[in-house]
Structure 1
């Protein structure tokens, strides 16, 4: 998988206004109404991660989910990260 240039990343991020690029990764934070809703979204995201065979670095504190995406084998962000970001956006959007 080919690492994307910073220009390509910035262009693709236009479709993901809540996401940021720094430290060689895509980052986002979602806030839910409660822990149950947050954990439910995490569970649905986990199934998508398995299907794509791509796994985020993420943390959960009560109702807040923080996600970082990078492709370790490529040493940065790849199309795979944007594919997962798109799937995550769809899951979270349905949840809201």
Structure 2
């Protein structure tokens, strides 16, 4: 099982990410895309990465606004796996803009 991060480690990890916030219970960000199809394209790409990493975010879709939440449910909080997924989500969002 992945090791839970301390509150300090989560704060440090968040300092290296743009637009993410959270605490040891989960990290999240919201992104606004140019259109609904663009938003769904991002979700499709995130889904492929999530399968590759075998680590899946919670995703809320509201028209062209996406909210991602990363938490390692099996560990009961945030682990390094969540930060890896967050970085990959950021790459996808940047490339869609």
TM range (shorter): over 0.9
Find the counterpart in structure 2 of residue 63 from structure 1: 64
Q: Deviations over 1:2-37 (max 9, x none)?
A: 000000000111111200104710010000111010
**Deviant stretches of 4+, over 6 Å:** none
| TM-score (normalised: structure 2) | 0.95
Where does the alignment leave 5 or more consecutive residues of structure 2 unmatched?
Answer: none
The answer to whether residue 88 in structure 2 is matched with residue 87 in structure 1 is: yes
Counterpart CA distance in 1 for 2:24 and 2:15 is 18
1:46 partner SS: helix
| Alpha carbons of structure 1 residues 12 and 23: separation in structure 2 relative to 1, 3 Å | closer
Where does the alignment leave 5 or more consecutive residues of structure 1 unmatched?
Answer: none
| TM-score (normalised: structure 1) | 0.96
Considering only aligned residues, what root-mean-square deviation do their CA atoms show, in Å?
1.0
